[in-house]
């Protein structure tokens, strides 16, 4: 099983290239934790991307994951989707942001970008099947991510 937090260049490139006039997001850099003796240790930020919806200024925040499983994404696995990321997305969503997981399903039977809204992270279920209707389909992998479906699901206007 190959699941990891946005370590794939292709996914990162697709996200950045897909912004167009819809959203503006920034890849969050790694942070640092200060320890005794003035040393620092790299530490992951809360999520991969934070930004705004063009034209409305509404916040958008998401973590990007890749998964090669044939039937599902293990959303409840803390190794692949840490609790601090889950909680950050939930807090942002509760505050009115467009928040969720953008998953690149890379298994040969799936090959899609999929969005899972923050509200579906509240239940802490073990996994979500690829054919679950809660996923917002955002295009085929290897192409641009179609953010218009995500914005429509939130009632956010898609800029021209």
- Tens of pLDDT, residue by residue over 72-93, are 999 988 888 889 899 999 999 9
The DSSP secondary-structure symbol of 117 reads E
As a CATH number, domain 3-28+40-153 is 3.40.1350.10
Angle at 86 between CA 84 and CA 88, to 5 degrees: 65
Q: Would you list the domain boundaries of the chain?
A: 3-28+40-153
- Tens of pLDDT, residue by residue over 32-49, are 777 778 787 777 778 999
- Tens of pLDDT, residue by residue over 118-142, are 999 998 899 999 999 999 999 998 8
């Amino acid at each position: 099983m190959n699941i990891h937090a946005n370590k794939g260049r292709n996914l990162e490139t697709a996200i950045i290239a897909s912004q167009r006039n819809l959203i503006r997001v920034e890849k969050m850099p790694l942070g640092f934790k200060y320890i005794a003796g003035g040393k620092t240790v790299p530490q992951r930020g809360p999520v991969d991307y934070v930004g705004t919806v063009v034209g409305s200024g509404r916040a958008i925040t998401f973590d990007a994951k890749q998964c090669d499983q044939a039937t599902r994404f293990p959303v409840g696995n803390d190794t692949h989707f840490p609790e601090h990321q889950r909680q950050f997305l939930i807090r942002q969503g509760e505050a009115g942001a467009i928040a969720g997981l953008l998953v690149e399903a890379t298994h040969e039977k799936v090959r899609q970008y999929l969005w899972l809204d923050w509200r579906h992270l509240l239940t802490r279920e073990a996994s979500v099947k690829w054919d679950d209707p809660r996923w917002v389909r955002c295009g085929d992998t290897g192409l641009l991510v179609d953010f218009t479906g995500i914005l429509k699901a939130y009632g956010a206007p898609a800029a021209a």
